[in-house]
Chains A and B, each alone.
Chain A
């Protein structure tokens, strides 16, 4: 058998401030978005996944871009109004201390990247995908510089602590952490460090993302890992956790050819930015996106559950029945769900085939396998609302 390629040489990979810690903990390193990142540690993807669901997992997400948008006027609403030029979300109404999921769109309504935006009172704190961060910084500089100073926070490390025990682990440093609700965000002092903490993540679990000064990141991560509830978790389990949670992976489930409506992300576009709202449109691709809000989109992202045990992977073509030669869609994420002990997938289907319980077929190694359209999340989330 051929063992899958785990490392390739070109261009020199960047390292996060936790690189030495990963090696010390037995991380199996792979290239990801230009960084040398741990795909798994000793226990392996399955155990790391299940440990996160039952205890707590520590993830190095510092390859992602952290950017501060500081209003030149000193008024946060000027930064919010500026960012609304690039995203279909309501940023103006985002209260201080709250975070929101958003997308940068292009003129065709497609998604350039997805991101988190937090209102930290005097500035907006934005987290973007690693592979997009240079483009995102250029986009922000190009469109917001009149009102905002764009400040990439290269000196900060982002650590996610996810799972039912994340709260008790973090509360040792600051008991007030427990009062935070899902998507609360703010400046906190933890272990003597100036941090930004949000009660969020990308696993479907309750948990936190903690932005810490880079020079202290390794020490802080070691402290968190010293708690027996916490295991380091690699990108492999991060992917299977987010897939079970029905969360999109940019570049796979979302890309410049998919709109927020096609991506089933209508919930993330507040009424104020839609037709009839207080500030309708005014973002790239608004015509196309708002038209889709009114009339629907030709295709839609759906959850898919294969009937058998064979995983149906990204790229598998979808058909309406077991024999048809006409491709109707494609799997964009697919794999094995450790919490369900079964395969799960996501993909795009025409609206005519996107209703729950519709059966479609994927071609896998020359065979047609049945999949059922299934609402996501596949595993209920445990956010603290």
Chain B
């Protein structure tokens, strides 16, 4: 299992041909209290870089972009009932959605943890 990161503060956990995607702890710390999360529908085919989810804090809404292309296999329904999970456990229980990886080569431009730490430093 590998975890990769985007420059836009999403993480991807790669297991076989499935990527679980969420936003990073750094992102949630910058957003503040999350009060609403909108996720894509299961079955939707995402194109890399399109806006597919929204995270809203008390003050503002922020788009989440698809870090890779592929079909949405599953979404995290817990976030609808408890959006604050994004603040308390961004890298774990607050995963957003799972995607069937359409094109492995899209993973090549992503960062590993060390590179991401440098990115936010």
Contacts and interface: CB of A to CB of B under 8 A. Distances in A.
* Chains A and B come from one and the same complex: yes
A97 interface: no
Contacts of B80: 309
B60 interface: yes
B64 A1 contact: yes
Interface of A: 1-4, 6, 39-40, 44-47, 49, 236-237, 239-240, 309-311, 313, 335-336, 338, 343, 365
A79 B85 CA distance: 56
A237 to B, nearest CB: 8
B113 interface: no
Given A309-B80, A336-B56, A365-B54, A3 B62 contact: yes
Contacts of B65: 1-2
Interface string B50-61: 000111111111
A311 B36 contact: yes
B58 A313 contact: no
Contacts of B30: 3-4, 6
Given A1-B9, A45-B33, A310 B38 contact: yes
Contacts of B57: 45, 336
Nearest to A365: B54
Given A1-B9, A3-B9, A3-B27, A45 B54 contact: no
B63 A2 contact: yes
A3 B36 contact: no
B32 A311 contact: no
A326 B8 CA distance: 36
Contact of A335 (B58, B63, B64): B58
Nearest to B59: A236
The residue in A45, A49, A240, A343 that gathers the most chain B C-beta atoms within 10 A of its C-beta is: A45
Contact of A311 (B10, B27, B61): B61
A311 B8 contact: no
B33 A46 contact: yes
A29 B32 CA distance: 14
A283 to B, nearest CB: 36
Nearest to A28: B32
13 contacts: A1-B8, A1-B55, A2-B65, A39-B59, A40-B32, A45-B57, A46-B35, A236-B32, A309-B35, A311-B36, A311-B61, A336-B57, A343-B35
A1 B27 contact: yes
B101 interface: no
A309 B64 CA distance: 18
Contacts of B55: 1
Nearest to A237: B58
Contacts of B9: 1, 3
A3 B64 CA distance: 10
B63 A236 contact: no
B32 A44 contact: yes
B8 A2 contact: yes
Interface string B23-38: 1000100111101101
Nearest to B24: A1
B61 A313 contact: yes
Contacts of A4: 30-31, 59-60, 62
A162 to B, nearest CB: 17
Nearest to A239: B59
B27 A336 contact: no
A1 B23 contact: yes
